[in-house]
A and B are shown apart, each in its own frame.
Chain A
Amino acid sequence: MSFWVEILVILVVLSNLRVLGASRLSACIQTVAFQGALLGLLPVLANLDALTVRLLLQAGSSTFLKAMVFPWLLGRALRQAGLQREVEPFVGFTASLAAGVLFLGAALWLGARLPQAGPEGLGRLVPTALFTIFVGLFVIVSRRQAVTQVLGYLILENGIYAFGMAFAEHQPLLVELGILLDVFMAVFVMGITLFHIHREFDHLDTDRLTALKH
């Protein structure tokens, strides 16, 4: 693994921790966007000596969507819904950070036990990928607002993307396009749903949706 790739991986880990610790929604969105850009850059930096047009296009489209389109969509939803700027967690920020450290440990332990099937270059990406997946799930579980759940979903997808990269450097174009389309649709639908939830209930707290249960 080259020097730049090491730096990127460290930055991904740090961005995960920042999402756990940040109290402002806009900061979370920016961090997730930053993480998306990092992961988009990763395949390019890992293959600096064997760049292809396809790789560049893939990285470009992924970066464009994750670092620009999604944050813009979420930011717009935030403005339109006019909701609070706070994250409103179930689990406090300090406790979240502590949980994050635990996740990191678990990811390292699991990553060491997983069979290393990938190419020699990015094999050590696996713990980072697992960590990102855990953080994504944790954000979905521990945060109250619907926007943060979308964010958690995006982080989860970033983790899956990184995981795929660790195992197959040149992901089949079809798979990559499929995942991107998936996420795009998901964010799109969630954006619409957020808007509708807001219009119906005047708030975006998912825990208050229990009133729908009969």
Chain B
Amino acid sequence: MGNILIAAGLLVLGGAAALFSGKNARRANFFGAGGALLGACVGLIPAVAALAGRPVHPLRLAWGLPIGSFSLALDPLSAFFVVPILGLCALAALYGTEYLLPYASRKSLGVPWFFFDLLAASMLMVVVARDSVLFLIVWEVMALSSYFLVTFEDERESVRQAGWTYLVATHLGTAFLILFFMLLARESGMTDLSVAPAMSARLASAAFVLALIGFGTKAGLIPMHVWLPEAHPAAPSHVSAVMSGVMIKTGIYGLMRALTLLGAPPAWWGWSLVGVGAVSGILGVLFALAQHDLKRLLAYHSVENVGIIALGLGVGMLGRTHGLPLVAMLGFGGALLHVLNHALFKGLLFFGAGSVLHGAGTRDMEHLGGLLKRMPWTGTCFLIGSAAICGLPPLNGFVSEFLIYLAAFLAVVQGQAAWGSVVIAALALIGGLALACFTKAFGVVFLGEPRGNDAAQAHECGAAMRLSMAVLAAGCLFVGLLGPVVLSWSAGAVGQLAALPSAESFDSWQIAIMPMYSVSAGAAVLLSLLLLTAVLRAWLLRGREIGRSLTWDCGYVAPGARMQYSASSFAQPITGLFSVFLRTRKRAAGPEGYFPGPATYATETPDVFREGLYRPVFEGALKAALRLRWIQHGRIQFYVLYIALTLLFLLVWRLGCG
């Protein structure tokens, strides 16, 4: 446990040193990224040990606060989250050293490095904290440090708006969490999180709902997701990668931890997770399809992937409720593995999007195109990430989605067709739409011809950014090929979630993942076929002259870049089909007359929940607040009078009636 503390300390120290490096960009880079890399290395040691099955001693220190205690523990569930958190933070730090440099002339880099390291340290502490007061404190540190990272480019109005949305959403979520932890503490009589309190079924259900809303806000489940498509595009790309790849997973972690504390789940808990997961997955990918902004598209895919994780969790819980341990283990295992996988491929994709922004200066897909020739590294890595997120073999996304499929099919076979088939249908729809979405994203951005000057002059990124992308791409392939190895590391965590004794869970988990060996074998065959084809192609082309020319253009004499499919036109058949949900706004001025002048067509897809659900509520709240404006007259004397009268009233009430 000491190593975890040292890791957090190194992170904070590195950040503080970067903060005091002032305007010296290189020194800030050195301290900020150095602290993150060193801290991650130190912190990974106990996490890997815990995953390998060696128990790590919990730590409990005294602190000055009247409630709570500084208690930490590293059980398999925590360790399974520590690994992606520290791994992705280290890679993002490496990436950031290059990504942030163009900003150095305008801004101090010490500030973003300080908050980045603080964010990494707080995420680490969130997953090892075993006391609700400590948990809430580090949770808040995490929210605030990420807020300051989101508002890094605060000179832009849209960034400030996004930051504000994020700040409000995260605190609303935390409010529910405070209630949740208060309920737990009231029932168990202490703030310790390592023992499950004995609760009545009704209170446990109330606690579950509070946890689902509170943690679901951080995780980005629909309809609590509205902050996510605003905040992720606004942040610097390496921060978007960390926020999307691991920070929203702390919400999933919280939900899982809550499940281990709340006892046996009734069926409707699982049903609600399946429902929320299916809605998040399907609507998330639909909204992603309608976006033109590359990073916003990726942000909506985070909503989708969190939905898949929720589906897995729901299947696991329903399996537990109906006494199907194998289904439960497969569902929880799929959800856990998808957490790791999403960190890998979404980190990779955000790094790729950052590299596009870095090289081409825009993330509007309608101005990009043809980047594969100009940025071959970024393009290849982005392609690997896209294939992985669509759940295509031989990459990692397939393994985790296959596990959830397997669990659902098993449930159907064992007589639970009602929810099993819902999960299968939702997953299939999500998978197909994701494939369409990433065909669009990759095709429009990297294939064809540049749609603008910026894209035509794009340049490839440097060594640090390439290296971090390559490592993540290798990670995607590794999990895809060696799924069973990675899955055997999650045995302990799966056992905790499925509430099975550890020895029994380890054996039955080994049996449960038997089919995954054939998946690995299939992936290996597929990969070797791919390699074989590449070798064959090289062999056939050897000694021949290879020329480069335009994509075949159906025989037009003077093709232009504007004649290509645009992002919106590519997605139109699908977005048109689902226009009931998307409510895309179109602004069109069509060509008129025999000699038509210029015509325009623009679409915009604002978030339905933001427009239809949150805006009316918040506007109503604002209106009500304005009614009370007369109290706020700006006179200090009256403010003090309010405080004094309140205190006096309380004093008299306590003493007079007591």
Which stretch (B290-298, B591-599, B637-645) binds chain A?
B637-645
A113 touches B636 (CB 8 A): no
Residues in B whose Cβ lies below 8 Å from that of A137: 640, 644
A206 touches B633 (CB 8 A): no
A206 touches B655 (CB 8 A): no
Q: Chain A's interface: helix, strand, loop or mixed, by majority?
A: helix
Bound-state CA distance A212–B632 (Å) is 12
Bound-state CA distance A114–B648 (Å) is 14
Residues in A whose Cβ lies below 8 Å from that of B656: 113
Q: Is B201 an interface residue (CB 8 A)?
A: no
- A114 with B632, Cβ < 8 A, contacts A140-B637, A141-B644, A142-B637 known: no
Q: How far is the CB of B255 from chain A (nearest CB, A)?
A: 42
Residues in B whose Cβ lies below 8 Å from that of A209: 634-636
B633 touches A140 (CB 8 A): no
A207 touches B635 (CB 8 A): yes
Q: How far is the CB of A92 from chain B (nearest CB, A)?
A: 15
Q: Is A94 an interface residue (CB 8 A)?
A: no
- A141 with B637, Cβ < 8 A, contacts A110-B652, A110-B655, A113-B656 known: yes
Residues in B whose Cβ lies below 8 Å from that of A213: 632-634
Bound-state CA distance A77–B290 (Å) is 63
Q: Is A90 an interface residue (CB 8 A)?
A: yes
Bound-state CA distance A192–B209 (Å) is 51
Q: Is B651 an interface residue (CB 8 A)?
A: yes
Q: Is A2 an interface residue (CB 8 A)?
A: no
A210 touches B633 (CB 8 A): yes
B640 touches A140 (CB 8 A): yes
Other-chain contact of B637, A90, A110, A113, A134 (Cβ < 8 Å): A90
Residues in A whose Cβ lies below 8 Å from that of B655: 110, 113-114
Q: How far is the CB of A198 from chain B (nearest CB, A)?
A: 16
Closest to A142 in B: B637
Residues in A whose Cβ lies below 8 Å from that of B652: 110
Other-chain contact of A206, B637, B641, B648 (Cβ < 8 Å): B637
Q: Which of A135-186 contact B (CB under 8 A)?
A: 137-138, 140-144, 149
Bound-state CA distance A161–B637 (Å) is 23
Interface residues on A, range: 10 to 19
Residues in B whose Cβ lies below 8 Å from that of A113: 655-656
Q: Which of A109-149 contact B (CB under 8 A)?
A: 110, 113-114, 134, 137-138, 140-144, 149
Q: How far is the CB of B292 from chain A (nearest CB, A)?
A: 36
Residues in B whose Cβ lies below 8 Å from that of A138: 644
Bound-state CA distance A138–B652 (Å) is 17
Bound-state CA distance A113–B636 (Å) is 31
Other-chain contact of A141, B632, B634, B641, B651 (Cβ < 8 Å): B641
Residues in B whose Cβ lies below 8 Å from that of A134: 648
A206 touches B640 (CB 8 A): no
B651 touches A149 (CB 8 A): no
B641 touches A110 (CB 8 A): no
Interface centre among B641, B644, B656 (most CB of A within 10 A): B644
Other-chain contact of A110, B634, B636, B651 (Cβ < 8 Å): B651
Q: How far is the CB of B629 from chain A (nearest CB, A)?
A: 10
Bound-state CA distance A114–B654 (Å) is 10
Interface centre among B632, B634, B652, B656 (most CB of A within 10 A): B634
Closest to A209 in B: B634
B636 touches A206 (CB 8 A): yes
Q: How far is the CB of B370 from chain A (nearest CB, A)?
A: 49
Bound-state CA distance A147–B633 (Å) is 21
Residues in B whose Cβ lies below 8 Å from that of A114: 655
Residues in A whose Cβ lies below 8 Å from that of B635: 206-207, 209-210
B640 touches A141 (CB 8 A): yes
Q: How far is the CB of B458 from chain A (nearest CB, A)?
A: 44
Residues in A whose Cβ lies below 8 Å from that of B641: 141
Q: Which of A193-214 contact B (CB under 8 A)?
A: 206-207, 209-210, 212-213
Q: How far is the CB of A203 from chain B (nearest CB, A)?
A: 15
Closest to B629 in A: A213
Residues in A whose Cβ lies below 8 Å from that of B634: 209-210, 212-213
Closest to B635 in A: A207
Bound-state CA distance A142–B638 (Å) is 9
Residues in A whose Cβ lies below 8 Å from that of B651: 110
Closest to B637 in A: A141
Residues in A whose Cβ lies below 8 Å from that of B638: 141
Given contacts A114-B655, A141-B637, A142-B637, 20 further A-B contacts (CB under 8 A): A90-B637, A110-B652, A113-B655, A134-B648, A137-B644, A140-B636, A141-B638, A141-B641, A143-B637, A206-B635, A206-B636, A207-B637, A209-B634, A210-B633, A210-B634, A210-B635, A212-B634, A213-B632, A213-B633, A213-B634
Chain B interface (Cβ within 8 Å of chain A)?
632-638, 640-641, 644, 648, 651-652, 655-656
Q: Which 8 A-B pairs have the closest CB atoms?
A: A210-B634, A213-B634, A137-B644, A113-B655, A141-B641, A140-B640, A141-B637, A206-B636
**26 pairs across A/B with beta carbons < 8 Å?**
A90-B637, A110-B652, A110-B655, A114-B655, A134-B648, A137-B640, A140-B640, A140-B644, A141-B637, A141-B638, A141-B640, A141-B641, A141-B644, A143-B637, A144-B637, A149-B636, A206-B635, A206-B636, A206-B637, A207-B635, A209-B635, A209-B636, A210-B635, A212-B634, A213-B632, A213-B633
